[in-house]
Structure 1
Amino acid sequence: MFHLTRNNIPFFLPLGFVGLYRWFWFFVRILAYCLYKPLKPRKHPRYKSYRDVTILVPTIDSGEEIKMALKSWLLNRPAEVIFITIPKALAALEALAHEVDPEGRHVRVITVKKGNKRNQMVAGINQVRTEIIVFCDDDVVWPETMLDYLLAPFEDRQMGGVGTSQTVITKNKRMTIWEILAAYRITMRNIEVTSSTYIDGGVCCLSGRTATYRTAILRDPDFQKEFTNEFWRGKYHQHSGDDKFLTRWMHSHSWKTFIQACPEAELASTFKDNWHFLKQLLRWTRNTWRSDIRSVIFERYVWTRHPFVAFSMVDKFFNPITLIAGPVTVAFLATRPDTTIPPWAIVVSYIVWLLVTRLIKYMPHFIRRPQDVLAIPVWLVFNMAFMFMKVYCLFTLYVTDWGTRAGADHKKPETEEEIAKLAAEKDISEIYIPYWSMDLDEWPYYPRTWVGTEHPRYKSRNVLEPFEGEEPDKPAEQYNVSRSTAFESGQTLSLADVQDIIVPAPQSQIDGTQPLDSTASTQQEAVIPIPSHMLSPPTLTNPSDFATSRSGAYDIESRGEQSQVAAGQPYVVVQGSKNLKSTEANTDARV
């Protein structure tokens, strides 16, 4: 080869650097991928699936694959599964839910007027009564250990979102070539997100197929407003790309992310088994272009929090150039008039090189499915075509619909003026976004949350990050902080449902209790008045409904010891410990 190129060193030297650069960073990723270790659940975890997890499934379908997926989710014992669908699919989904969960204890179906995934997600968020939300595609199958492993990273109070590794399953007897191509892509994605998690704790995207978040983050009105009103270049309303938005929100609001890449937390998902896979690919590629441009050029939070992820995003910008370098080199050598090697030999040598290198790159996939080695030639052709697809997507970023979900792309206004007009006509009220027009000081607390992440001053920022001029929060462990719940006066409660909090009132306002002694060795009970604006969100018309919910975390009717709340006004019950201290704070204090 050097004999062929010795007279063209200035031309080939840059190409040599391109090849060296690509392979160097590939081996960096492979090394990180091999060194990575998932977080295993603790013996006594802070969060339990039956008490703390709600699965949200935005869908417009009701096929058999949903039934199989739902059964796998329920084996993980979540508190609740909520399907958010459109009226047309309501009856079929309710029948499916009744078939899988005849008693109706764990599966619920709600509707929005018009199909739009982001609106459906927000509608579901505002129905949740647990501390953790899992978004899940309707065709995703889980292992029985999925939720235990997804909850493990949340032992870190700064953890905001957790994703998983993935694999491909087929609805047919054997995979089609389209599904094999999808499996190749998933393998490389698993390597990418696992290596970035190991290197700097970041991830380019917490895939919407299954992703876990703290409810407190997603209940922030600012998040919900921006999430449902994201525009590209201020003109094109974004329908897809919800998972990219959520990942960027984690980066910009100082929350950690993590990928659980292990068999115990590996989801299995179907992909299009025909040429419609190309439509999926176009949508993913456009979303990647739009989101990565926002991340590295406009928002730029990722540069300081996760520099390796930022570098990976920039690297993708130049992929079309590096992909074309090889064919250009071969064409140049094969068409030289003074070449001493037949052109066919040059082409064959290049093809053999591609086959061998791709065999090395996708070895993790071939270990699991060795028969897919036969598809490498098709993958090479597909990869060359994908080079042109990426360029095409770059010039068509104004296309923001799904393309593969019939009924999911309901005609929506495409400009901010049209959105405002539609909002005035109250045609989008079904997304249940609470208190957009209210002063944040009046925005209610979310019952049963941790360390006040829903407080107006914190919104969805990381609670451990102080505001300018504000004293930093003491570590949560110092206060033994956990949960609080607001109920109507006279409601019968179980003390098992309410745990330690920082008291949200001066000592003089505590009714009928002894002072909370920080040195006491025994548990104490306190009944503390709270302002009415700290009651349940509007999705619960009666706070007592919250207390008697069928959700496992609030099934107080089946609990033992009871305590009667004093009459007069709404109260919160506190179960104190030796680390619990009263704080001289106003009603704006943290719960």
Structure 2
Amino acid sequence: MAAQAYWRHLWAVALDKNFLFVFLFVFRYLRFVVHLVSFFFLYRPSPAPRSPSLTARDCTVIIPTCDPKDRAFLRCVESVARASPSVIHIVAVGKEQENQVRSTILPHVADFPSVCFKVSSTIQANKRQQIAAALPAVRTSITVLCDDHVTWPSAHMLRAAVAPFEENERVGGVGTNKRVIRHADKGLWAGFWNVMGALYLERHNFEHTASNAVDGGVAVISGRTCLYRTHILQEPALLAGFLNERFLWGLCGPLNADDDNYLTRALVKRGWTIKFQNTPEALILCDVGEFPRFLHQCLRWARTTFRSNMCSLVTDRAVVYRAQPWGVYALQLSLMLNFALFYDAALVWALVRSQGWGAATTTLKLKLLVAWILLSKLPKLAPYFLRHPADLIYLPGYFVFAYAHSLIKLWALLTFWDTRWAGRNLDDIDRAAAAQAEAGTGTGTDTDDGRHEGEGEGERADDEDLDFFPPAGNSEEEDDLDLDVGLAPSSTRPPSSRLHHRRRRCSPVKTPWGTVGSQNLHQLPANILQTHQLRRSPGTTSTTKRTKRVGDSNGDSL
């Protein structure tokens, strides 16, 4: 009887004409009020220690690219190099792009003598495969993933970004502060879309900074620039899932997009915490597409939200609800349900049908609600308009775009299984890289047939070789690189070739464990890899070790 009475009472409350409005209003604006307080008063970035144990020299930056001819690519590499990481590893697509990367960065390598540049390629324009191809060669404790159109304005970027790893040993990943480059010289139409992209990222910064301050929750560590502990990314199980992620009960996939969402969820599932480092030094700048490309990007981002958030809420629910309960409500659920056009219309309708709000007329109530709805959107945008007050002329257009975006989001929900990387024509890049590989000019095909003794039928050596531009003036680092890349010992290398030396190919060697070559180094125990040396040929005096990227049975880089 008590249970029946409870449900009758609950049903009566739900049918109350005021209940729907109260529920919709509280669900929407509880997050807003809490985030307002946490963003401006509770959030504290991790301070950089005076005597850090982690520095930029503990970082390897991986930059996957499929358009090295873009001017933004060189700006990206130069800005990253100014932060003085230990290694910058650029992964292109196909031999032609690899050569383009080499010719683009080579004139600038000497400007950064402390940085080791590595260049390699895969045969498919797939960001996940490009990242995974570079991970086995990473020897630093921190791995930084950076998009090829991003600029780091501060040379102290890495110093600020690695600080959370020192502050808390349970931090597994760090997100950075993002801004869109404002092109003031563009016309009114192009300027409008430029500002819309800037406000999009400004809201993302606000929501994730605020939520991270409450319970450490974030929906995603943006892949534009993010930092991870290397041993997490090199975990075989994580890499296997990273390269073969599927959704909708395995019917769709494997995914190319959503790489940053997968890594974020992987950290949460493994019990690592995440820090959103919102400081001026940990700032990155990027461009977003112009019209209509920006709309395609919004569509892709919205599809990612539905795919990834549903995975967190359903597949990973045992961990996510416990690890970041506020983030589940404020980010995972709210980002999926926040269709401004439909939600605000529902609020207005619920208010009109409600009763008992004092002597205020319906017209006055509607005016107050509309004013609240519009004004509540401004605090998230305030930091941007304080920097660019002239852009306030675009504010009315922003409100229109915010409601129009609901239609984009609705279409994304209806087509969430579409995983195409909208905004870039990757199919043409794939075809060009495949044609180069078939013609014998694929990456790393130094021999006639591009194969080695001992390789399986399905294995390939196309993208094994790396171009190395090691740092000059540091014999200790150069000796370390000799072990990695198969260069001659630094004492026998002419000084003029330090920045341009190519790695020699070593022949497979028969050992008690079988034939050891580049294609199966990943299958050997670590103690064997540390002690075994591959010799170039009988009669030579120098021996070299090397770490090479290998192909799986389907020819994909791992």
Q: Shared topology, TM-score over 0.5?
A: yes
Contact 2:21–2:351, Cα closer than 8 Å, also in 1? no
> 2: CA distance between counterparts of 1:311 and 1:131?
34
Q: 2:321 is matched with which residue? A: 303
| 1:114 aligned to which of 107, 115, 124 | 124
SS of alignment partner, residue 177 of structure 2? strand
SS of alignment partner, residue 263 of structure 1? coil
> 2: CA distance between counterparts of 1:387 and 1:144?
39
- In structure 2, give the amino acid aligned to 1:98: L
Could you tell me how far 1:129 is from its partner in structure 2?
Answer: 2.0
Contact 2:21–2:350, Cα closer than 8 Å, also in 1? no
Q: 1:372 is matched with which residue? A: 391
SS of alignment partner, residue 81 of structure 1? strand
> 1: CA distance between counterparts of 2:374 and 2:217?
31
> 1: CA distance between counterparts of 2:211 and 2:120?
37
Could you tell me how far 1:358 is from its partner in structure 2?
Answer: 2.7
> 1: CA distance between counterparts of 2:104 and 2:529?
31
Judged with a 3 Å threshold, the aligned counterparts in structure 2 of structure 1 residues 145 and 366 are, in CA distance, closer, same or farther, namely same
Judged with a 3 Å threshold, the aligned counterparts in structure 2 of structure 1 residues 68 and 171 are, in CA distance, closer, same or farther, namely farther
Q: 1:215 is matched with which residue? A: 230
Q: 1:197 is matched with which residue? A: 212
The answer to whether the aligner puts 1:158 opposite 2:170 as a matched pair is yes
Q: 1:236 is matched with which residue? A: 252
Aligned ranges 1:109-508 → 2 under 5 Å: 109-142=119-152, 143-155=154-166, 156-170=168-182, 173-174=185-186, 176-233=191-248, 234-237=250-253, 238-300=255-317, 301-312=319-330, 313-320=332-339, 323-328=341-346, 353-407=372-426, 426=458
SS of alignment partner, residue 173 of structure 1? coil
Could you tell me how far 1:17 is from its partner in structure 2?
Answer: 3.6
Q: 1:44 is matched with which residue? A: 51
> 2: CA distance between counterparts of 1:539 and 1:372?
62
The answer to whether the aligner puts 1:90 opposite 2:98 as a matched pair is yes
- In structure 1, give the amino acid aligned to 2:424: R
Structure 1 gap segments, 5+ residues each: 1-8, 336-340, 413-423, 433-485, 493-530, 550-591
> 1: CA distance between counterparts of 2:362 and 2:278?
45
Contact 2:120–2:463, Cα closer than 8 Å, also in 1? no
Could you tell me how far 1:20 is from its partner in structure 2?
Answer: 3.7
Could you tell me how far 1:111 is from its partner in structure 2?
Answer: 0.5
- In structure 1, give the amino acid aligned to 2:160: Y
- In structure 1, give the amino acid aligned to 2:527: M
1:474-514 CA distances to partner (integer Å, 9 max, x unpaired)?
xxxxxxxxxxxx99xxx99xxxxxxxxxxxxxxxxxxxxxx
Contact 1:126–1:219, Cα closer than 8 Å, also in 2? yes
Structure 2 gap segments, 5+ residues each: 1-14, 354-359, 432-455, 465-482, 490-523, 536-541, 549-558
Could you tell me how far 1:21 is from its partner in structure 2?
Answer: 3.5
Cα RMSD (Å): 3.8
Could you tell me how far 1:359 is from its partner in structure 2?
Answer: 3.0
Q: 2:556 is matched with which residue? A: none
- In structure 1, give the amino acid aligned to 2:206: I
More helix by share: 2
Query: With structure 1 as the length reference, what TM-score do the two structures score?
Result: 0.66
Judged with a 3 Å threshold, the aligned counterparts in structure 2 of structure 1 residues 279 and 315 are, in CA distance, closer, same or farther, namely same
Could you tell me how far 1:325 is from its partner in structure 2?
Answer: 3.8
> 1: CA distance between counterparts of 2:21 and 2:462?
55
- In structure 2, give the amino acid aligned to 1:24: L
SS of alignment partner, residue 264 of structure 1? coil
The number of residues matched between the two structures is 433
Percent of residue pairs bearing the same amino acid type? 28
Judged with a 3 Å threshold, the aligned counterparts in structure 2 of structure 1 residues 178 and 346 are, in CA distance, closer, same or farther, namely farther
Could you tell me how far 1:306 is from its partner in structure 2?
Answer: 1.3
Q: 1:99 is matched with which residue? A: 107
Contact 1:97–1:108, Cα closer than 8 Å, also in 2? no
The answer to whether the aligner puts 1:56 opposite 2:67 as a matched pair is no
1:28-64 CA distances to partner (integer Å, 9 max, x unpaired)?
01111122111111122122212x1110011111221
Could you tell me how far 1:261 is from its partner in structure 2?
Answer: 0.3
Q: 1:436 is matched with which residue? A: none
1:47-95 CA distances to partner (integer Å, 9 max, x unpaired)?
2212x11100111112211111211111110011111111231222111
> 2: CA distance between counterparts of 1:157 and 1:546?
32
Contact 1:38–1:262, Cα closer than 8 Å, also in 2? yes
The answer to whether the aligner puts 1:22 opposite 2:28 as a matched pair is yes
- In structure 2, give the amino acid aligned to 1:14: L
Q: 1:528 is matched with which residue? A: none
> 2: CA distance between counterparts of 1:266 and 1:275?
27
Contact 2:256–2:421, Cα closer than 8 Å, also in 1? yes
Query: With structure 2 as the length reference, what TM-score do the two structures score?
Result: 0.69
1:543-573 CA distances to partner (integer Å, 9 max, x unpaired)?
9756999xxxxxxxxxxxxxxxxxxxxxxxx
